[in-house]
Structure 1
Amino acid sequence: MAASSMEILATIQAIQTAEISLVRISSPILMIFGNIGEILNIIIFVQRTFRNNSCAIYFLAASCVRLIFINFTIFLNDLSIGYNIDPARTSMIFCKFKFYLTFLTAILPLSFIILACFDRLMLSSLSVRTRSWSQPRFA
């Protein structure tokens, strides 16, 4: 019985070591490619041709929020899991702020995409009054 519990502990420790190694390797790669992709999205949606499109405004907002998500949440998770540095352990205020910002930046891009879908739905309506709601000033 003792040998099997020792094997289980060794397996758990090996899994934890693999997780730490995976986070240390993959997080910087995800951050680099994520930042490049979101910055390119922002560059595209800021162009003059897209400023008059309300749907592009929603996608621009989603890209900005995802950029914050990548640089804040993934970075803090990388520090916490990969290097055992977690400021949320010592500060209750930072813990609450981290939880709030993580939740907010995870939900907002989805909400913006749903709003863009509603915007396209209104634009395709037969009613002129409904189509008038699909404007950049309302977005």
Structure 2
Amino acid sequence: MNNKSIESLDFISDQLNKYLAPIIFLSGTVGNIMNCLVLSQRTLRSNPCAFLFLASSFIDLISILIGLPTRILAGWHLDPTNTINWACKTRAFIVFSTRTMAIWLIALATIDRWLISSIDIHRRH
């Protein structure tokens, strides 16, 4: 790649961080809070699948609240993780581990639903 291509990609990245990341931040935060409110209802507390989705929504909320603000700041070249080494490492650990946990919780919910819908009665219990 030449310098012109790299500059173009940097510009596109900055624009996405400035304008798309705040939309994702707001919609993701509101959506995950609403999921947490709905899935923590008394009628759903005894459902293991609802519990797994509740945990996934809570963990996704943590990922959004920790990961996206620094991406938004990076759009204006104000990212503190560029200069504070421990903040960069902590943010990376939290974001990657919460993303992984959320995916595994959804996979477990899928397995739970598959077992519940199985024809074999021994798998249902």
Residue 90 of structure 1 corresponds to which residue in structure 2? 83
* Structure 1 residues 126 and 16: CA distance shift in structure 2, 3 A: same
Query: C-alpha separation between the residues in 2 aligned to 1:93 and 1:19?
Result: 24
Residue 48 of structure 2, aligned match among 54, 57, 65? 54
Structure 1: 4+ residue segments shifted above 6 A: none
- The CA deviation string for residues 93-118 of structure 1, in whole angstroms up to 9 with x for no partner, is 22221111111111111100111122
Residue 3 of structure 1 corresponds to which residue in structure 2? none
Count of matched residue pairs:
122
Q: Which moved more, 1:14-23 or 1:70-79?
A: 14-23
Query: C-alpha separation between the residues in 2 aligned to 1:18 and 1:88?
Result: 20
Residue 110 (str. 1) matches residue 85 (str. 2): no
* Structure 1 residues 63 and 13: CA distance shift in structure 2, 3 A: same
SS of the equivalent of 1:25 reads helix
Residue 126 (str. 1) matches residue 121 (str. 2): yes
Q: Which residues of structure 1 form unaligned runs of 5+?
A: 1-7, 133-139
Residue 27 of structure 2 corresponds to which residue in structure 1? 33
TM-score where L is the length of structure 2: 0.83
Cα deviation, residue 89, structure 1: 2.8
Cα deviation, residue 12, structure 1: 4.2
Residue 65 of structure 2 corresponds to which residue in structure 1? 71
Query: C-alpha separation between the residues in 1 aligned to 2:44 and 2:67?
Result: 29
- The CA deviation string for residues 48-73 of structure 1, in whole angstroms up to 9 with x for no partner, is 11111010000000000111111211
Q: Which residues of structure 2 form unaligned runs of 5+?
A: none
Cα deviation, residue 87, structure 1: 2.4
TM-score where L is the length of structure 1: 0.76
Q: Once the two structures are aligned, what percentage of the paired residues are identical?
A: 31
Residue 42 of structure 1 corresponds to which residue in structure 2? 36
RMSD over aligned CA atoms reads 2.0
Instruction: Tell me, yes or no, if the aligned pair for 2:56 and 2:102 is still in contact at 8 Å.
Output: yes
The structure with the larger Rg is 1
